[in-house]
Amino acid sequence: MSPDADEGYAPPGEPDLLNDDEAYLRVLRSRMPARSQAVIERLNRVNEVYVTCGRDAVLSEAFETFLEDAQSTRHGERKEADIFFLTGESGAGKTDAARRLLRGSELLAPIQTSYGTIRPYVSVKLTGYMLPRIAARKIIAASGHPIKVDTKQGDAWSEMSPALRRRRVVLVHIDEIQHLVTNNSEENKKLADAIKGVSIASEWPVAFLLSGLPGIRVLAKKDEQFERRGNWVHFPDLKMPDEESLVVRILTKMSKAAGLGLGKMSETDMPKRIAHASNYRYARVCQLVRAAIHQALRAKDEPQELLRGHFALAYALRSRARGHNHMNPFLVDDWTQLPRGSFLDVEGPEEDED
């Protein structure tokens, strides 16, 4: 904020640019060229598209069963931990799927009361290596519960159940939980025990949804309780050519939202090229298609159809292939010889895209 900006309220009838985020962003956008504004408007429609496929049905079925189970034993002694794992490689679509799952749950929907809003679940996303006790504090803070400054090491996990009870939270989602997993199996066991402890707390058991890279399986290893209950869903990579139709579905749904045609693209090798460029990750395919659509919407010749060239451009802009056309799977004939992936791919820690 500049020194001369005043923190007061705007006069009636004027947008309150200092306090109203939406109004401020609207004003900023209104200063963009009309063309950009039109592009953003069409892009927003594409952004809203969530392309479901069989795995969403599997996930929602498994999760519903899990919630029924977690609720059914609520008033008895809880002997088994209620923990649900959602795994998949980076760009598989876990974060989006979990968000949709939680928002769509009737059980977990917010309750408006005269004394405030009760939110039956909290969701935290870890973005880098973090000590488990810090993560525990983050969860308690996300529930809206004040954290005592003098909470000692290890205490945050034991304070979690009573804190969440006060806040009426019955489920905790930890996204990208691989950031808590280490190479040290003792540490991993301690973490698994801490989570399990909260989930079977006698007064207020809390269910957990843990999502992350396939490596988070170590949290359940050698623990019969976790393994036996089978609360697992894994989002595998696309299998080509069998699952080519999924790529076609994504192309169809997203281009339609943008008001663009596809011509005969679905009958060409384009779905295969798109899958290859996206490292066979479902959500990455969605991102690539969205980026190509963005290029089509920006194109000066105002195309009516999504074309291969739009993918070539999107790929060049968001990969290491910029200026290296021979590395661009949408520009060469022998694209199968190029390494898979690299559209938005990063090696090592998962990037954050939202």
Q: Which DSSP string do the residues of 235-255 spell out, in sequence order?
A: EPPPPTTTTHHHHHHHHHHHH
Q: Is 287 in the site for ligand ADP (CB under 6 A)?
A: yes
Q: Give min distance, CB of 227 to ligand ADP, in A.
A: 23
Contacts of 188 (CB under 8 A, 6+ apart): 181, 182, 218, 219
Q: Binding partner of residue 137 among Mg ion, ligand ADP, none, CB under 5 to 8 Å per kind?
A: none
Of 70, 82, 83, 95, which one interacts with ligand ADP (CB under 6 A)?
95
Q: Binding partner of residue 297 among Mg ion, ligand ADP, none, CB under 5 to 8 Å per kind?
A: none
320: tokens are 């290491």
Q: Give min distance, CB of 58 to Mg ion, in A.
A: 18
Task: Give the nearer residue to ligand ADP in terms of CB position, either 17 or 49.
Answer: 49
Backbone angles phi and psi of 235, in degrees to 5: -95, 100
- Residue position matching structure tokens 């927003």: 44
Stretch that binds ligand ADP, among 59-67, 141-149, 150-158, 280-288 (CB under 6 A): 280-288
Q: Do the Cβ atoms of 195 and 208 come closer than 8 Å?
A: yes
79: tokens are 């002997």
Q: Is 205 in the site for ligand ADP (CB under 6 A)?
A: no
Q: Is 177 in the site for ligand ADP (CB under 6 A)?
A: no
Stretch that binds ligand ADP, among 29-37, 69-77, 94-102, 270-278 (CB under 6 A): 94-102
Could you write out the three-class secondary structure of 251-286?
A: HHHHHHHHCCECCCHHHCCHHHHHHHHCCCCHHHHH
Stretch that binds ligand ADP, among 10-18, 30-38, 91-99, 260-268 (CB under 6 A): 91-99
Q: Give min distance, CB of 350 to Mg ion, in A.
A: 6
Task: Give the nearer residue to ligand ADP in terms of CB position, either 94 or 173.
Answer: 94
Q: Is 92 in the site for ligand ADP (CB under 6 A)?
A: yes
Maximal CA-CA distance, the chain:
67
Give the Cβ contact number of residue 309 at 10 Å: 15
Task: Give the nearer residue to ligand ADP in terms of CB position, either 51 or 277.
Answer: 51
Task: Give the nearer residue to ligand ADP in terms of CB position, either 305 or 353.
Answer: 353
- In what helix (H) or strand (E) does residue 209 lie, and over which residues does it extend? strand 207-212
Of 67, 101, 286, 293, which one interacts with ligand ADP (CB under 6 A)?
286
Q: Give min distance, CB of 125 to Mg ion, in A.
A: 8
List of residues contacting Mg ion (CB under 5 A): 95
Q: Give min distance, CB of 175 to Mg ion, in A.
A: 6
Task: Give the nearer residue to Mg ion in terms of CB position, either 165 or 217.
Answer: 217
Nearest to 84 by CA among 171, 213, 204: 171
Q: Do the Cβ atoms of 107 and 67 come closer than 8 Å?
A: yes
CA pair distance 18, 208, nearest whole angstrom: 38
Q: Is 178 in the site for ligand ADP (CB under 6 A)?
A: no
CA pair distance 127, 212, nearest whole angstrom: 11
Alpha carbon separation from 37 to 32, 79, 155, 301, 344 (Å, rounded): 6, 56, 50, 17, 25
Q: Is 88 in the site for ligand ADP (CB under 6 A)?
A: yes
Task: Give the nearer residue to ligand ADP in terms of CB position, either 162 or 349.
Answer: 349
The strand order across the sheet containing 232-235 reads: 121-125, 171-175, 207-212, 83-88, 232-235
Stretch that binds ligand ADP, among 92-100, 129-137, 146-154, 323-331 (CB under 6 A): 92-100
Q: Is 188 in the site for ligand ADP (CB under 6 A)?
A: no
Site residues (CB under 6 A) for ligand ADP, limited to 47-86: 49-51
Task: Give the nearer residue to ligand ADP in terms of CB position, either 205 or 212.
Answer: 212
Give the binding site for ligand ADP (CB under 6 A): 49-51, 88, 90-96, 283, 286-287, 353-354
